[in-house]
């Protein structure tokens, strides 16, 4: 049974939802915010493979309908997201922090991050949780403001480069 933290107060028109954006919205949010684009096949397993996530939608506040208004302009759009890959016991990795450029600098990234951290606090097993992330430059101030510190000198984030994937694919293609 999960404890859902109280949703944050957001600017008018914005609503935070627990869960994950649709595959289409996920792919759009990543690409439009400048993160590396992902395919729909890569996005499909996210709800099953993640521990928790949330996203924010925007519905324009009541608009004066004019002849120039289009249904497109009145639609609800997904504008922000973030999620946690974790075990629910102690280990949590925050990923996919993204806000559409035209909705940035309104506190949405901060609201998503605070909500994810509150969810960990409310639902983690007894004992100290370990929460980490890889911080791209646009997010660093946001993370620092919310208490994240450089893992160095104790730990250094490491990853396999893309060349590793290419090499692996080449190996898989060698006939037996
Ligand atoms: C990183 C990212 C998620 C932050 O989202 P955001 O919604 O702009 O974040 P916030 O609005 O909470 O904070 C951003 C800035 O806006 C400021 N801000 C917040 N509300 C504001 C308001 N109402 N008016 C003016 N400024 C405001 C914050 O103080 C902050 O300022 P600072 O960067 O100078 O400290 C977003 O920039 C993004 O999607 N970047 C591209 C993708 C990316 O790199 N993601 C990180 C991956 S690790």
What is the reported pLDDT for 164?
Answer: 85
Pocket test for ligand 1, best of 16, 38, 142, 148 (most atoms within 8 A of CB): 142
The CB of 8 under 6 Å from ligand 1? The reply is: no
Question: Does ligand 1 have an atom closer than 6 angstroms to the CB of 48?
Answer: no
Q: Where are the beta strands (DSSP E) in the chain?
A: 14-18, 52-58, 77-86, 91-99, 130-132
Task: For residue 175, report the distance from its CA to the centre of ligand 1, in Å.
Answer: 50
pTM over 0.85: yes
Number of separate helices (H) and strands (E) present in the chain: 7, 5
Going along the chain from its start, the domains and CATH numbers come out as: 14-173 (3.40.630.30)
Pocket lining: 106 vs ligand 1, CB cutoff 6 Å: yes
Segment 35-76, tens digit of pLDDT:
999 999 999 999 999 999 999 999 987 755 555 555 555 589
Closest CA to 122 of 147, 80, 86, 88: 88
**Residue 8 pLDDT:** 81
């Amino acid at each position: 049974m999960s404890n859902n933290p109280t949703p944050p107060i957001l600017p008018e028109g914005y609503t935070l939802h627990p869960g994950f954006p649709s595959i289409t919205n996920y792919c759009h949010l990543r690409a439009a915010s400048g993160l590396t684009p992902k395919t729909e096949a890569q996005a499909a397993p996210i709800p099953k493979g993640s521990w928790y996530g949330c996203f924010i939608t925007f519905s324009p506040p009541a608009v004066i309908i004019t002849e120039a208004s289009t249904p497109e302009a009145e639609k609800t759009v997904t504008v922000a997201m973030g999620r946690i890959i974790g075990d629910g016991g102690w280990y949590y990795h925050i990923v996919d922090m993204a806000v559409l450029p035209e909705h940035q600098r309104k506190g949405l990234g901060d609201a998503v991050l605070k909500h994810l951290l509150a969810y960990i606090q409310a639902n983690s097993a007894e004992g100290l949780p370990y929460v980490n992330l890889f911080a791209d430059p646009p997010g660093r101030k946001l993370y620092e403001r919310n208490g994240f510190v450089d893992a160095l000198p104790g730990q250094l984030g490491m990853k396999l480069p893309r060349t590793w994937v290419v090499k692996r694919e080449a190996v898989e293609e060698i006939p037996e």
